[in-house]
Every structure is written in C-alpha cells, then in structure tokens.
Structure 1
Amino acid sequence: MDTAPTSFADRLTAMVDWIEAHLDAPLTLAAIAERAGLSPYHFSRVFSARMGRSVMAHVRARRLIRAARRLVDDPDLKLVDLAFDCGFESQEAFTRAFVRIFGTSPGRFRRGFAVTPMEGQYPMTAATHAAAVVQLPDLKTMEAFTVAGPSRRFDQADKSDIPQLWTRLIGALPFEGQVASWNTYGVVWGFDREEGSFAYMAGVGVEPDATPPEGFELKAIPAATYLVFRITLDGSAVHPQIKAAMERIWGELVPASGLTLAESPDFELYDGEFEPTTPGVTLDFHVPVKR
C-alpha cells in the first residue's frame, strides 16, 4: 500500500513528480492546486518559495526542456507538431517561448546545443539554498584576461533575471575568438551602493582582439590578486544557491578576512566541465584585494 507524503516538502516533491508525469495534460494552476489539496493562492505561494519560480513557469519550462530533448533525438520532427504537443497555439508562440528559455531558436538548438545548462535553471528538485562556501587558504594572482558576453545593469528588484544572460551566452557558443578552455565567468563591476545596482556579464574567455557576436560586449579583466571562495552546489537550482552564498561571502567572510578590496571586477569562475545538476560540483568566486 502506498504511503502518503507526511510533510509539505514530501508533498511538494510528489506534486513535482506528478506534474512531470502529466506534462501532456492541459495543466492549470487551479487543477494542480486541487490535486495538492490546497487553494491556488496557498499552493502558488509555497511552491514559488520552495522552487524559486511560479507553478506555471515551472510547467512551461519543463515542457520546453522536454521539447528540446525531442528536437535533438528526432531530426524529422516538425516544429509545428512539437508546438501543438507542448500546448502552444502556434509555432510562432512556441518559438518565442523557446528563445526566452534557451537563448536561441529551436532550429539552431537542434543543430548542436545541449539541454543540460537549462536543467540547472529549471530542475525538478526544489531549491535548497544549501550551497557550502569555504575560503581557500591562499591568495591567487592572475594575469589580465578578456571575456565576452551579454551584460546589463541590475538592482535588487530585477537581479533574479541574471540567468537570462546565461541563456543568451550559451545560445551563442562557440564563436570565433573563444579561448580553448571553455571557462565561463559571471563578472560583476560598477557597484552603486546608493542605488544597490551593479553591472553583470555572463561571459566566456576570448582572445583580446576577438570580435564578439552581435549584442555581446568585451570586458577586460586587469591583472589582480584575489581572495577565492569555493562554492559547492547541491544539484538544485543554481541561482538561488549562488545568491545565498554571496550573502554569506559579503556579509561574513570578506569582512572577517581583514583584507582591503581592490577597485577591480569580481567574478564567478565556472570551468569547462561545470555540470550544474551534479551534487558536489564547485565554482570559485574571485574577490580582488590589495596585497
């Protein structure tokens, strides 16, 4: 005999599994909430708090991730048929939604892009905010280098949109002038303490004279010495974990180091083997300091 989930966390996991198994059904917030035994308002609030996205945003993203797999696995599948299978009223609406999630068109995705990075943004598991952070024992000196990618200014109201820059970057890779390491960088600079705003780039290492794709910028990172923090992820949604890690780094660890910050960009460094859905995967956050 099946045992009913005994906690809300268990109930939420069961509902996420149920949604995944019924993506072909005409799902609505009301229908999902009724299945969970809660009002739409209550279920929406608790789902968003635990998963880091709304119920229907989760449904749409999971449908599109499944569609992306089908694009790769079935080269003869027509886009219009896939659009209708995913619940869209037209191929055009499907394409617009696909581009918002993956940063590239279905046709270009089919010609060589992987689904894995988006699984990291829209996983089936709840965001646990449980990334572990440790300060590496030695300062790290790096020579100057250059990155290229999409960038914009964010503040506290819209910084949750940062993952959109990563979809744009991933959709353009590889491009001419990209360095062989495939290291990628989340670069922060121009922090305005009064406004609480900052510039952020999702970038990849490039040759200094590279010509980036249209809409991308070049960002020169000067030679600097860095205090490095290693962030270990747990396989759930990446952005909420990094947000929690940054709160600890800037609120506790940087002040405790006793070091003076340098006027230079800081950055997240993801190596070429970074796999966001693998528990235990790491990234290094570099904070420039004066020696």
Structure 2
Amino acid sequence: MDKTPTRTVALMIAWIETHLDEGLTLEVIAARAGYSPFHFSRLFLAETRRSVMAHVRARRLLKGARRLLSEPGLTLLDLAFDCGFESQEAFTRAFRRLFGTTPARFRAGFAVDPIEGQYPMSTPTAVETAVRRLPDLVPLPSFTLAGPARRFDEGNKAEIPQLWSRLVGALPFEGQAESWASYGTVSAVDRAEGSFRYLAGVEIRPGAEPPAGFETLTLPAAAYVVFRITLDGGPVHLQIKAAMREIWGELIPDSGLDLAGSPDFERYDGRIPLSEPGATLDFYVPVRA
C-alpha cells in the first residue's frame, strides 16, 4: 500500500465504506493499513481531524439515515443494531448529535443531500475547484436570516455542517420567506483569537419569529462582489475550503476592491444538490462601491 499519509488514509476510508456492515475495530482497520493501532490512529486524526472509530460511527449513521428514507418498514431498533449500537436509545442519541434531529423527525422530512457532502467525513483528496468572479457588483437591500448559529475557531470549525443539519431538519417553518435559497454567513470576526460567528439560515419575512433555538441576523443593504464556485461532485467541504483559499488569497487581493467589513455569506439556490457535478454556490463579499 502507498505509504503517503494522505493516500493511505484515503484508501482506508474507501475500504471502510465498503465494509461498514462488518465488525470493524481500530485494530482491524490499522492492520489492513499496515500500521499499529497507535500509529494509524495518529495518522488518521492528523489527516481528517477525527478518530478512526468516530468516522466509522458517522458513516454508519449516514448510511442508516438513508435507509430511514428508503425503507419505510424498517424499525429503529433493527436499524440501531445494524449500525452497531447496543440499544435504540444509544442510536437515537448519536443520531441526534450528528444530524441535529431525531430519527423519527428525520424520517418525517429531512433531506440528506446536500448535507452529506458537507460532513467532515469524506475521503481526503486533491481537489480542483472552478471559481470565477461575476463581472458586475450585485446590490442587495437589507434582509434578515434565521437559523442555528455558533462561534467557531480552528479547533471546532469542522462542526459547522451540524448547523446545516439542524437548519434543514426544521424546514420549512412559519415566517420563512418563499425561497429555496439558504445562506451560510460569517460575522463578528475576532482576528486576534481567530474566531468567528457562523449562521446557517434562510431568509425570513419582516417581523417573523424564528423557531426556538434559532438566531436572527440582519444584513445591511450593500453592494457585493460575487464569486461563483462550480462543484465537481466530489466532497463539498473540501472544494469550498479550496475555493475560499483562492478567493481570499488571490481573487480578492487582485481585485483592488475596498471591502466593506460587513458580513459575507455563501448562497445556495437549492436547485441542484451540491453533491452533483455542475452544482454552483455563490459567495458574496460586501464592498464599498
């Protein structure tokens, strides 16, 4: 087996995916990779920022979530055992931590895509993103978003997709604007400590009350430079990460534009799942026109 760390982990993630129904342990997986359990667990954690067995549990839960939608006669108890849990209660707790909702609520109307591609559990790979700046600035009036929000830094920002699962699990809700668009916003940036507040939300009508536990964020009227990210069907979060490096590291500095300093945001129109090749995501950065 190729001993390049990224390649080794990528190959093992692919192998795990085809053996999720088997009795996987750290020892079994490490032996397959040709490493000691200690060495491989360190390698896997460095490459993915999660433990080997946390990855296995998450992939089993995701596979179970798809079965919830495709097998209406499947009981939660049977699914819990199939996913390697000793009880339905343990399965439900783990499911809720990952998806932000219960299995029953998920089955009643929760969309896995495009969330699946955003979970920080996809195969590490080299990605090539297609990013282009749209030619014209886009003026937008003030509008208000509602959704789950948390403060993140380098230590926990891999958990951002969990906000999206909470959001999608609550849609649609009373007071939501008539639009399929969803937004990921960054605000309250503290550059000294490297932290920021992230909200995954949808637009709400003026005066509407958001669901319990959701926050609101009103974006001021502004002109935006827009960067269109075209995805290739691979891991979404890796492509967005690469696109952001290009946008902030090259395209914005080369643009000569004066940034306004108000919140920027990702906008997804909901028409094509982000996991499909050709899907697009627009990134809006406010500028002083």
TM-score normalised by the chain length of structure 2: 0.89
Partners of 2:35 and 2:194 lie apart in 1 by 37
Shift of 1:103: 1.4
Shift of 1:176: 1.1
Task: Tell whether the 8 Å contact from 2:115 to 2:164 is kept in structure 1 after alignment.
Answer: no
Is 1:57 matched up with 2:51? Answer: no
The corresponding residue for 1:30 is 27
The corresponding residue for 1:225 is 223
Shift of 1:234: 2.9
Shift of 1:124: 5.4
Q: 1:262 to 1:118 in 2, by over 3 A?
A: closer
Shift of 1:57: 2.5
When the two chains are superposed, the root-mean-square deviation of aligned CA atoms in Å is 2.3
Unaligned runs of 5+ in 1: none
The corresponding residue for 2:256 is 258
Is 1:164 matched up with 2:162? Answer: yes
Task: Tell whether the 8 Å contact from 2:111 to 2:168 is kept in structure 1 after alignment.
Answer: no
Shift of 1:280: 3.0
1:270 is aligned, of 268, 271, 274, to: 268
Is 1:140 matched up with 2:138? Answer: yes
Q: How does 1:193-204 map to 2 (within 5 A)?
A: 193-204=191-202
The corresponding residue for 1:246 is 244
2:190 is aligned, of 186, 189, 192, to: 192
Is 1:210 matched up with 2:208? Answer: yes
Partners of 1:146 and 1:167 lie apart in 2 by 20
Task: Tell whether the 8 Å contact from 1:227 to 1:287 is kept in structure 2 after alignment.
Answer: yes
Is 1:78 matched up with 2:71? Answer: no
Deviations 1:101-129 (A, max 9, x none): 21110011111222223421346543434
Task: Tell whether the 8 Å contact from 1:182 to 1:205 is kept in structure 2 after alignment.
Answer: no
Shift of 1:12: 5.1
2:286 is aligned, of 277, 282, 288, to: 288
Count of residue pairs the alignment pairs up: 287
Equivalent AA in structure 1 for residue 186 of structure 2: V
The corresponding residue for 2:100 is 103
Shift of 1:96: 1.0
Unaligned runs of 5+ in 2: none
2:124 is aligned, of 123, 126, 143, to: 126
Equivalent AA in structure 1 for residue 280 of structure 2: T
Partners of 1:79 and 1:281 lie apart in 2 by 33
The SS at the match of 2:161 is helix
Q: 1:124 to 1:202 in 2, by over 3 A?
A: closer
Partners of 1:126 and 1:235 lie apart in 2 by 14
Shift of 1:179: 1.9
Task: Tell whether the 8 Å contact from 1:185 to 1:202 is kept in structure 2 after alignment.
Answer: yes
Equivalent AA in structure 2 for residue 75 of structure 1: P
Identity among equivalent positions (%) equals 62
The SS at the match of 2:114 is helix
The SS at the match of 2:281 is strand
Task: Tell whether the 8 Å contact from 1:126 to 1:236 is kept in structure 2 after alignment.
Answer: no
Task: Tell whether the 8 Å contact from 1:52 to 1:240 is kept in structure 2 after alignment.
Answer: no
Shift of 1:43: 3.3
Is 1:43 matched up with 2:40? Answer: yes
Partners of 1:92 and 1:114 lie apart in 2 by 23
Partners of 1:196 and 1:64 lie apart in 2 by 32
Q: 1:13 to 1:266 in 2, by over 3 A?
A: closer
Equivalent AA in structure 2 for residue 29 of structure 1: L
Shift of 1:34: 0.7
Equivalent AA in structure 1 for residue 29 of structure 2: I
